[in-house]
Amino acid sequence: MDFGRSERWRLPTAIKILIAGGFGAGKTTMVGAVSETRPLRTEEMITHVSAGVDDLSGVETKPTTTVAMDFGRITIRDDYMLYLFGTPGQERFYFVWDELALGALGAVVLADTRRLADCFPAIDYFERHRTPFVVALNCFDGARPFTVGQVRRALELEPEIPIVLCDARRKDSGKEVLITLVEHALRSGAEPVGTAP
């Protein structure tokens, strides 16, 4: 049998996507909600050591933080495999981002409208590296609703950057965000980060 020519043995195309955003925006939740496998998580308890280092405003009751990454996977038919990498949201872990971003098709910037300014580091990073991204507004219970236009102005986003509403806890909502990102990345014609043009 010629395995090299058999459609049955053809490997799926791997697509790497980052899920970024501020601390407590819902990145770990989103990766866990959409992943078809049990997600890999690198969460540790928040201790007194982070006092004065990490800004916990608005998420004072959050007991854990991602210290390296979250990882999940989605199979799209037999043709494509999405690999999801959730980035750490705290500034002291930003050094991990360059490694995680290598080869990524694009990124989701998950935003908590209660702390919208926490998105700026992720947006700046992806703009600087010319990585296609979308902004997903995680609709937290009790959060003040903002219009897409208000968010676009507050984050100073170009008109072509998609902004979508989502609930990071819901699988179908997370998948819609990922579809929006892949469509945006394909329209932009961008090459994955770190690949030759």
**pLDDT value of residue 71:** 82
Write the pLDDT tens digit of every residue in 66-122: 545 688 889 887 788 889 998 876 565 566 778 878 889 999 999 988 888 989 999
Write the pLDDT tens digit of every residue in 133-148: 999 999 877 666 788 8
Asked which of 24-33, 69-78, 159-168, 174-183 is least confident by mean pLDDT, the reply is 69-78
Q: Give Cα separations from 103 to 13, 97, 132, 151, 193 (angstroms).
A: 13, 12, 12, 29, 5
pTM of the model: 0.76
Q: Is the pLDDT of residue 194 over 60?
A: no
Q: Please say whether the beta carbons of 154 and 120 come within 8 A.
A: no
User: Could you tell me which residues come within 8 angstroms of residue 176 by beta carbon, excluding any fewer than 6 positions away?
Assistant: 164, 166
Q: Is the pLDDT of residue 185 over 80?
A: yes
Q: With cut-offs at 50, 70 and 90, classify the pLDDT of residue 63.
A: very low
Best CA proximity match to 24, nearest among 38, 39, 43: 43
Helical pair 171-188 and 27-34, crossing angle rounded to 10 deg: 100
Q: Please say whether the beta carbons of 114 and 143 come within 8 A.
A: yes
Asked which of 3-17, 95-109, 115-129, 145-159 is least confident by mean pLDDT, the reply is 3-17
Determine what percent of the chain falls in helix, strand and coil, rounding each to the nearest 5: 35, 25, 40
Domains and CATH numbers, the chain: 7-188 (3.40.50.300)
Share of the chain above pLDDT 90, in %: 38
Q: Please say whether the beta carbons of 114 and 130 come within 8 A.
A: no
What is the Cα Rg of the chain in Å? 17
